[in-house]
């Protein structure tokens, strides 16, 4: 059997194929790491790229890491409201509390422009965990795909079983890694 394996691997195209199979995952992993970028600050529009960007993002998640309580949500909202409204306030808040402010934004401004106008007048986020069912219902109703009523019921039942409160942690690098894993698997 060992002789058969030697015969098989002695062919040039097999050696090339083995080399490619080993090289592609390594190259894809390196490209994935190099493509990660994180904004340095609101005042500096330069991005930190690669491993340094990953470390910077991970460090920033120390403010967000842990159980996402309504107290934490209200703290983020208070920080946002302490600045003049606008893109700068959004970016500064997202830099200081990565992941959390985008959740608040989605919960209170998604799918309703009127609510988006009320965002700056929002007093607290105490109903944050109750809003997901409303948003999912709106998304199902506004979707281009027509869902059957039984499909909507299943989706809403699953949404009700989501564990609350949420736990926040750094996971941004996975958004880049998952696509590279599918490329590597071919």
Could you read off the pLDDT of 108-160 as tens digits, one per residue? 876 555 544 456 778 899 999 988 888 888 888 887 778 888 988 999 999 88
Contact 80, 90 (CB under 8 A): yes
Same structural domain for residues 44 and 87?
A: no
Same structural domain for residues 76 and 43?
A: no
Same structural domain for residues 78 and 159?
A: yes
The pLDDT score that the predictor gives to residue 140 is 86
Residue numbers of the domain that contains 16: 2-59+172-185
Nearest to 105 by CA among 40, 176, 89, 140: 89
Range with top average pLDDT, 51-60, 135-144, 166-175: 51-60
The pLDDT score that the predictor gives to residue 117 is 47
Better-scored residue on pLDDT, 84 or 158: 158
Same structural domain for residues 36 and 53?
A: yes
The pLDDT score that the predictor gives to residue 162 is 87
The pLDDT score that the predictor gives to residue 182 is 66
Residue percentage of the chain with pLDDT more than 90? 15
Nearest to 75 by CA among 125, 130, 111, 37: 125
Same structural domain for residues 97 and 148?
A: yes
Same structural domain for residues 87 and 120?
A: yes
Same structural domain for residues 143 and 113?
A: yes
The CA distance from 181 to 186, in Å, is: 9
On the question of pLDDT at 7 being above 80, the answer is no
Same structural domain for residues 97 and 125?
A: yes
Same structural domain for residues 55 and 138?
A: no
Better-scored residue on pLDDT, 110 or 54: 54
Same structural domain for residues 110 and 136?
A: yes
Same structural domain for residues 114 and 127?
A: yes
**pTM score above 0.75:** no
* Contacting residues for 100 by C-beta, under 8 A, at least 6 apart: 64, 68, 72, 73, 76, 168
Number of domains in the chain: 2
Same structural domain for residues 38 and 75?
A: no
Residue 167 main-chain phi, psi, to 5 deg: -115, 125
The pLDDT score that the predictor gives to residue 122 is 84
């Amino acid at each position: 059997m060992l002789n058969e394996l030697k015969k098989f691997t002695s062919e040039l195209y097999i050696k090339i194929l083995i080399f490619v199979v080993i090289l592609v995952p390594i190259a894809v992993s390196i490209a994935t790491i190099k493509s990660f970028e994180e904004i340095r600050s609101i005042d500096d529009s330069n991005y930190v790229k690669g491993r340094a960007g990953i470390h910077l993002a991970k460090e920033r998640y120390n403010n967000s890491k842990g159980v996402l309580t309504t107290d934490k949500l209200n703290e983020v909202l208070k920080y946002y409201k302490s600045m003049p409204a606008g893109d700068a306030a959004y970016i500064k808040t997202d830099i200081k509390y990565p992941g959390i402010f985008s959740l608040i934004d989605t919960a209170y401004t998604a799918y309703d422009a009127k609510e988006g106008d009320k965002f700056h007048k929002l007093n607290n986020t105490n109903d944050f965990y109750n809003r997901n069912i409303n948003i999912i219902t709106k998304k199902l109703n506004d979707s281009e795909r027509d869902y059957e009523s039984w499909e909507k019921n299943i989706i809403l039942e699953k949404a009700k079983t989501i564990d609350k409160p949420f736990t926040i942690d750094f996971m941004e690098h996975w958004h880049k890694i998952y696509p590279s894993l599918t490329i590597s698997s071919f």
